[in-house]
Amino acid sequence: DTAFSAFLSDENATIELGHRLAHALQPGMVVFLEGDLGAGKTTLTRGILRGFNFTGRVKSPTYTLVEPYTLLGLEANSKLYFYHFDLYRFNDPSEWEDAGFRDYFNSESICLIEWADKASGQLPSPDWIIQLQPESTGRRILLSATSELGQTCQNALTL
């Protein structure tokens, strides 16, 4: 698979790219967001949510592990469930089942996960892996598709 790459010169560029990603994402997708603390993972998530016309506050779910959003889908009156995970503090696999997180992964929802490696045994395989890394005073984003659906959506992104 050919990766998508772009330079993001400032925070606003990260938000704008998030808008583009929102238009390429489809219900049922699982996205891993990789990069060190401060790389811009939560900023990109905020951009994606803005792309779905969510205007409220986007907080980092560091202590709650997940922040749920109910968004409007593309079809009339349809709803889209969006879950933003931050698993940095996740360390108890039994908590995954107890909290019912498994059910969050379904065909009507989009799941974005920061620090997926902390729960690798619990998670389904991703459709996209997005990496963010520092480059000069900005960031570099690398997106690779890791499923057929992911590839189709990545093609929509690069059109």
Applying CB under 5 A, the residues found at the interface with Mg ion are: 41-42, 60
Stretch 39-58 residues interacting with ligand ADP (CB under 6 A): 39-43
Question: What are the distances in angstroms from CA 63 to CA 58, 67, 153?
Answer: 14, 10, 31
Instruction: Give 74's DSSP letter.
Output: S
43 binds, among ligand ADP, Mg ion, none (CB under 5 to 8 A by kind): ligand ADP
84 binds, among Mg ion, ligand ADP, none (CB under 5 to 8 A by kind): none
Does the footprint of ligand ADP cover residue 109 (CB under 6 A)? no
- Distance in Å, CB of 75 to ligand ADP, minimum: 31
* Residue nearer to Mg ion on the CB measure, 4 or 85: 85
Cβ-based neighbour number of residue 158 at 10 Å? 10
Stretch 18-37 residues interacting with ligand ADP (CB under 6 A): 35, 37
* Residue nearer to ligand ADP on the CB measure, 36 or 97: 36
CB environment 105-125: b (16+ within 10 A), e (fewer): beeebbbbbbbbebbeebbee
- Distance in Å, CB of 94 to ligand ADP, minimum: 26
- Distance in Å, CB of 117 to ligand ADP, minimum: 14
Does the footprint of ligand ADP cover residue 142 (CB under 6 A)? no
Sheet with 30-34, edge to edge strand ranges = 4-8, 138-145, 128-135, 30-34, 109-114, 79-86, 66-72
- Distance in Å, CB of 104 to Mg ion, minimum: 18
155: enclosing H helix or E strand? helix 148-158
**Overall residue count recorded for the chain in this entry:** 159
**Angular region, 46: left φ>0, alpha ψ -120 to 50, beta rest:** alpha
Contacting positions for ligand ADP (CB under 6 A): 8, 10-11, 13-14, 35, 37-43, 60, 138-139
